[in-house]
Chain A
Amino acid sequence: MDTIVCLKQVVDPELPQWDFAIDPATKRQVRMGKPLVISTYDENALELALQLKEKTGGKVTALTLGPQGEVKDAVRLALAMGADEAVVIDDPQSPQRLAADKASVLAAAIKRIGRFDLVLTGCESADWVERAMAPFLAEALGAACVTFISRAESRDGALSVRRTSEEGFQTVDVRLPAVLSVTSDEAIRPRLPKVKDIMAAMRKPVANWTRADLGAEDAGGAKGVEVKDVSIPERTTKVEFLEGEPAEQAEALVARLRALKIL
């Protein structure tokens, strides 16, 4: 199974709140000097791709779109985890772009990579959370689409996947080629590369392309959607701490809930 995994590099979402700020010029999170990581679910997607490769053979290609100077660590980690090769599309503006804008570039890159059975993305990016990339790519590539999957196994030349739904899980049969978005599961915790993997990754091929190479037009916004404002909501509540021993704290809380007619 030949798989292409789309990886996005984001500012570490675990940064404490005091270190989180919006740049008024770009209307995006301040990136300068902040640690960058592969977006959480994208790393799960890579792990799933590697596990499928271990069972069925084939090749795993890591594909990333970003400012070239920023993505080296992400690419190196992906190759050390076990991706066979990587493609980097240099786009200094990518942190400001919305999914619709980036999907056409990624789809062009996937077509240029050529053969694939499967494209995997994270179910959402840690920063902009549009949850739209996999469906967009499926349309652009004429492939099947299932989102929010946590497991996948190869079955008679197709895939059987587990999709998270409101009520629980659905088992979905999917024809190939397919584009799937991946959520989390105990079985796809990203592996930690060993030193020898990190060394081996140095010799793996990395292709560097630009948007222009792929014939992508610089449309600026994403088809009539403009980000007008990004603001950090102010918390207006002030907590009242209930003091004393557990029984006293419980009694105080029950009294307040009764006053609010919740009890």
Chain B
Amino acid sequence: MPGILIVASALEGSMGRSSVELTGAARNLAGPLSLPMSAALVGQGRGIGQAVETLQQYGVQTVYRCEHPALTPGQSDAVLAALDLVVTKAQPELVLISADTVGREVAPRLAYRLRAALATEVMSLAVDGRAVMARRQVYGGRAIATLEVTARPAVISVKPRAFDVPQPQPVRGTVEEISLTIDPEALPTRVREAQSERAEVGLDDAQVVVGGGRGVGGPEGFKLLEELAAALGGAVGSSRPPADEGWVPITWQIGQTGKSIRPNLYVAVGISGAAQHVAGVSGSRTIVAINKDPEAPIFSLAHYGIVGDFRQVVPALVAKIKAAKGA
């Protein structure tokens, strides 16, 4: 079925939010281009049936379901083998993939195999005539590029959290089984083990995030930030220097290289405001900056600024928040 194919991932045994975001991204294109929406559902485990229902709730007309025990987290080679089969069958004009660990490997490889156009890490999508207009950050978030994608097929990778989960739009869809026969032992890459880093509240979904930068000075400083995050019911993240220095787990890194976040409240502590970091937080609704340097570029992004030593400001803030919540 020529149309828009989204790659829905159930590698962890169930389907995550990023796949639903893709249905929202695809809707921006499906209407104006009059294209039907289908999904390649790749994964394993009991959650697959639920994933089919969810995709249909969000307007996916045809689900190409590919289950295989090798379709597990990080197994890009297995996912690519599955997608080879699905695209042969579906002959899509456009393929949308989430730019996650697997997607950022698979999207260019699939584009190469299909001799397709490629746009990566896209944050918004629109249509102009028959062309897909894809916008993405470049130069460490200092600028936004608009790419005009005219070729078909085209593969587009979408930055996680750039699109909201859309309103449901239920359709009565069909399911086609795709049978994958691969020998996991024969794949050139194999995930031997996965380690999770500590994260009590997930950064991706937190409504409040406290971010620390080089100005926090070390792991001890981040303890204060964790207290503030706890008082606000949020998560802690960092800019690049603390992650590079090993003060915090690398999964805490927010910015172009790390995660993109869009919380209600972002509190930047000891963060200068390098473009690389700003790229990941500029979608936050309210931004508070605490920095000892009144000239720090972060203040040009912030709604509220506090010039001062975070070692004094943050504990004062924790006390006032606790008092306010108790009141």
Residues of A with Cβ closer than 8 Å to B? 13-14, 17, 20, 22, 27, 29, 99-100, 103, 123-124, 126-132, 135-136, 138-140, 143-148, 150, 160, 163-175, 178, 183-184, 186, 222-233, 235, 237, 239-242, 246-247, 249-251, 253-254, 256-258, 260, 262-263
Determine how close the nearest CB of chain B comes to the CB of A31; give it in whole angstroms.
12
Q: In the bound complex, do residue A140 and residue B275 qualify as a contact, i.e. CB atoms below 8 Å apart?
A: no
Q: Judge whether B111 is part of the interface by a CB distance below 8 angstroms.
A: yes
Determine how close the nearest CB of chain A comes to the CB of B71; give it in whole angstroms.
15
Q: Judge whether B179 is part of the interface by a CB distance below 8 angstroms.
A: no
Secondary structure call for the B interface: mixed
Q: Judge whether B182 is part of the interface by a CB distance below 8 angstroms.
A: no
Q: In the bound complex, do residue A131 and residue B289 qualify as a contact, i.e. CB atoms below 8 Å apart?
A: no
Q: In the bound complex, do residue A239 and residue B299 qualify as a contact, i.e. CB atoms below 8 Å apart?
A: yes
Q: In the bound complex, do residue A253 and residue B142 qualify as a contact, i.e. CB atoms below 8 Å apart?
A: no
Q: Judge whether B195 is part of the interface by a CB distance below 8 angstroms.
A: yes
**Interface residue from A100, A138, A173, A242 paired with B111 (Cβ < 8 Å):** A100
Whether A172 contacts B306 in the complex (CB less than 8 A), given A132-B120, A135-B109, A225-B148, comes out as: no
Q: In the bound complex, do residue B193 and residue A250 qualify as a contact, i.e. CB atoms below 8 Å apart?
A: no
A144 to B80, CA, bound (A): 12
Point out which of B143, B146, B148 has the most chain A C-beta atoms below 10 A from its C-beta.
B143
A156 to B138, CA, bound (A): 40
A162 to B312, CA, bound (A): 39
CB closest chain-B residue, reference A162: B195
**Interface residue from B232, B249, B289, B317 paired with A250 (Cβ < 8 Å):** B317
Whether A166 contacts B100 in the complex (CB less than 8 A), given A129-B256, A249-B316, comes out as: yes
Q: Judge whether B190 is part of the interface by a CB distance below 8 angstroms.
A: yes
Q: Which range holds the interface residue count of chain B?
A: 35 or more
CB closest chain-A residue, reference B279: A129
A124 to B312, CA, bound (A): 38
**Interface residue from B117, B148, B194, B204 paired with A168 (Cβ < 8 Å):** B194
Determine how close the nearest CB of chain A comes to the CB of B232; give it in whole angstroms.
8
**Interface residue from A100, A131, A240 paired with B304 (Cβ < 8 Å):** A240
**Interface residue from B99, B112, B244, B321 paired with A186 (Cβ < 8 Å):** B244
CB closest chain-B residue, reference A135: B108
Report chain B residues within 8 Å CB of A227: 145-148
Q: Judge whether B307 is part of the interface by a CB distance below 8 angstroms.
A: yes
**Interface residue from B112, B188, B250 paired with A178 (Cβ < 8 Å):** B188
Q: In the bound complex, do residue B196 and residue A170 qualify as a contact, i.e. CB atoms below 8 Å apart?
A: no
Q: Which of B121-174 contact A (CB under 8 A)?
A: 121, 133, 136-140, 142-152, 154, 160
Q: In the bound complex, do residue B189 and residue A172 qualify as a contact, i.e. CB atoms below 8 Å apart?
A: yes
Point out which of A164, A227, A253 has the most chain B C-beta atoms below 10 A from its C-beta.
A253
Report chain A residues within 8 Å CB of B146: 227-231
Q: Which of B272-320 contact A (CB under 8 A)?
A: 274-276, 282, 286-289, 294, 297, 299-309, 312-313, 316-317, 319-320
Q: In the bound complex, do residue B256 and residue A254 qualify as a contact, i.e. CB atoms below 8 Å apart?
A: no
**Interface residue from B101, B245, B312 paired with A165 (Cβ < 8 Å):** B101
Q: Judge whether B200 is part of the interface by a CB distance below 8 angstroms.
A: no
The list of the 3 closest CB pairs from A to B, nearest first, reads A224-B151, A144-B188, A135-B108
Determine how close the nearest CB of chain B comes to the CB of A254; give it in whole angstroms.
5
CB closest chain-B residue, reference A238: B303
Q: In the bound complex, do residue A232 and residue B143 qualify as a contact, i.e. CB atoms below 8 Å apart?
A: yes
A183 to B101, CA, bound (A): 13
Q: Which of B76-133 contact A (CB under 8 A)?
A: 76-77, 99-101, 104-109, 111-113, 115-121, 133
Report chain B residues within 8 Å CB of A222: 117-118
CB closest chain-B residue, reference A254: B320
Q: In the bound complex, do residue B208 and residue A262 qualify as a contact, i.e. CB atoms below 8 Å apart?
A: yes
Q: In the bound complex, do residue B120 and residue A230 qualify as a contact, i.e. CB atoms below 8 Å apart?
A: no
Q: Judge whether B192 is part of the interface by a CB distance below 8 angstroms.
A: yes
Determine how close the nearest CB of chain B comes to the CB of A262; give it in whole angstroms.
5
Q: In the bound complex, do residue A246 and residue B308 qualify as a contact, i.e. CB atoms below 8 Å apart?
A: yes
Q: Judge whether B28 is part of the interface by a CB distance below 8 angstroms.
A: no
Whether A173 contacts B190 in the complex (CB less than 8 A), given A132-B108, A223-B151, A246-B308, comes out as: yes
Q: In the bound complex, do residue B76 and residue A145 qualify as a contact, i.e. CB atoms below 8 Å apart?
A: yes
Q: In the bound complex, do residue A225 and residue B304 qualify as a contact, i.e. CB atoms below 8 Å apart?
A: no
Q: In the bound complex, do residue A163 and residue B316 qualify as a contact, i.e. CB atoms below 8 Å apart?
A: no
A144 to B75, CA, bound (A): 12
**Interface residue from B106, B144, B154, B316 paired with A233 (Cβ < 8 Å):** B144
Q: Judge whether B13 is part of the interface by a CB distance below 8 angstroms.
A: no
Q: In the bound complex, do residue A224 and residue B150 qualify as a contact, i.e. CB atoms below 8 Å apart?
A: yes
**Interface residue from A123, A140, A163 paired with B112 (Cβ < 8 Å):** A140
Q: In the bound complex, do residue B304 and residue A256 qualify as a contact, i.e. CB atoms below 8 Å apart?
A: yes
Q: Judge whether B2 is part of the interface by a CB distance below 8 angstroms.
A: no
CB closest chain-B residue, reference A22: B143
Determine how close the nearest CB of chain B comes to the CB of A182; give it in whole angstroms.
12
Report chain B residues within 8 Å CB of A253: 288, 304, 306, 317, 320
Q: Known contacts A164-B101, A250-B319, A263-B325; can you find 11 more A-B pairs with CB under 8 A?
A: A99-B108, A100-B108, A168-B249, A173-B189, A174-B189, A178-B188, A237-B302, A241-B304, A241-B307, A242-B305, A262-B265
Q: Judge whether B197 is part of the interface by a CB distance below 8 angstroms.
A: yes
